[in-house]
Amino acid sequence: MSPTALTLSPIVAGAWRMAEWQLSPQDRLRWIEENLELGISSFDHADIYGGYRVEALFGEALALAPSLRQRLQLVSKCGIKLVSPARPQNRFHCYDTSFTHVRASVDESLRALRTDHLDLLLIHRPDVLMDAAELADTFDGLRRAGKVLHFGVSNFTPPQLELLQARTPLATNQVELSPLHLDPLHDGTLDQCQRLGLRPMLWSPLAGGRLFSGEDERARRVRDELQRLAAELGVALTTVVFAWLLRHPSRPHPIVGSSRIAASREALAALDLRLTPEQWYRVWTASTGHEVP
C-alpha cells in the first residue's frame, strides 16, 4: 500500500448504531451503496461499537459486493477495553494502547470487516499510560505491514496529540462538536488542527438528537435559532447544523450516524451552503447565552 495522503469524503457515514438498526445484510449493503452513490465514501467504525458487533455486521454486508471496497475508506478505532462476552479476555473496563492490544485489535477489525487494510486507525480515547514512543513504533509496524495506511487520535487534547505527533505523523483528531458542545472551538483543539494541517473529524454533530428534542433552556434557544435560519435559507434544520460545522476553517469532516439516507442527503446539502459570520455567530450566541465580548 502506498503512503499517499489521506482523503476522506467531506461527510463521513457513521456505523456506531448499526447493531440497533435491525437491518438484513442486503439492507446494510444498500445503505453502503446509497451513501456511495451520494458521494459519501468514508465509513467510521470502532472495534467496541455494538458490543464488538458492528464491524462484523458491516463486513457481512460488504462481502455481498466485495468490489465496493475499492471505492470506500474504512476508519476504525481501538484502545478501549470493554468487559464483554465477545472479548472474554477483557476483565476490567479500561484503556490500553500497548503494542499487544493495538496489534490484536487491528487484526480483529480486519477479520470482522473482511478487508486486508484499514485506511485510518484512531486511538479512541487518551490513555494516561500511553507510551508515545512504543505506540509510534506500533503504528510504524502496522504501516509497513500494509494493515493500516494512516493513523490518528480521537478525543485527544492538544498536549496529548502533540505528544504523539512529535513521534509519528497523525492524520486527524476525531472530537465531539455540535452547537450544544463548543469546547473544541475554545480549548485549542481546532486551532491545533489548523496549525498542523489536520482536518478533524466530528462526532455527535446533532448532539445525540438533543438539538431536536432537548427541553432544557439551552437546547430550546439553539433549536429556535436554527429553525429561524433554516426558514430564512430554505433548507432543513439538519442542513443548517452541518453548514455551521463546515464553516470552521479547520475544514472538518462531520459524521452522520443514521440509517436514513435522507439524513445523509441533508448533511451533504450543507456543502453548497456557506453561512456568513453573522449567521454563524447567531447560533454560537444562542448556545452560549451571551453575545461575543
SS3 state at 281: helix
Spatial CA neighbour of 151 closest among 204, 203, 79, 62: 79
The residue with cell 429553525 is 227
pLDDT value of position 129 = 98
Q: Is the pLDDT of residue 100 over 60?
A: yes
Mean pLDDT of 154-164: 98
The residue with cell 473529524 is 201
Task: Decide if 265 is inside a domain.
Answer: no
Distance separating alpha carbons of residues 290 and 293, to the nearest angstrom: 9
pLDDT value of position 5 = 83
Supply the CATH number for residue 118's domain. Answer: 3.20.20.100
Boundaries of domain holding 145:
12-171
Distance separating alpha carbons of residues 69 and 239, to the nearest angstrom: 28
- Residue 113 is placed in which grid cell? 470487516
Distance separating alpha carbons of residues 235 and 206, to the nearest angstrom: 16
* pLDDT band for position 1 (cuts 50, 70, 90): very low
Helix (H) or strand (E) holding 202: strand 201-203
Task: Decide if 284 is inside a domain.
Answer: no
pLDDT value of position 112 = 98
The percent of residues above 70 in pLDDT, for the chain, comes to 99
Q: Which of 1-10, 59-68, 246-255, 267-276 has the lowest average pLDDT?
A: 1-10
Task: Decide if 190 is inside a domain.
Answer: no
Q: Is the pLDDT of residue 266 over 80?
A: yes
Mean pLDDT of 67-85: 98
Q: What's the alpha-carbon Rg for the chain, to the nearest Å? A: 19
Task: Decide if 223 is inside a domain.
Answer: no
Average model confidence (pLDDT) for the chain?
A: 97
Measured in whole angstroms, how far is the alpha carbon of residue 278 from the centre of its chain? 28
Distance separating alpha carbons of residues 188 and 32, to the nearest angstrom: 35
Task: Decide if 253 is inside a domain.
Answer: no
| Active-site option among 49, 52, 95, 281 | 49
Q: Is the pLDDT of residue 91 over 80?
A: yes
Task: Decide if 240 is inside a domain.
Answer: no
Residues 189 and 43: beta-carbon distance below 8 Å: no
Q: Is the pLDDT of residue 3 over 70?
A: no
110-129 pLDDT per residue, tens: 999 999 999 999 999 999 99
181-230 pLDDT per residue, tens: 999 999 999 999 999 999 999 999 999 999 999 999 999 999 999 999 99
Distance separating alpha carbons of residues 266 and 271, to the nearest angstrom: 10
Tell me how many domains the chain contains. Answer: 1
281 is annotated as an active-site residue: no
Task: Decide if 194 is inside a domain.
Answer: no
Q: Is the pLDDT of residue 158 over 50?
A: yes
* pLDDT band for position 4 (cuts 50, 70, 90): low
The residue with cell 467510521 is 44
Task: Decide if 156 is inside a domain.
Answer: yes
* pLDDT band for position 69 (cuts 50, 70, 90): very high
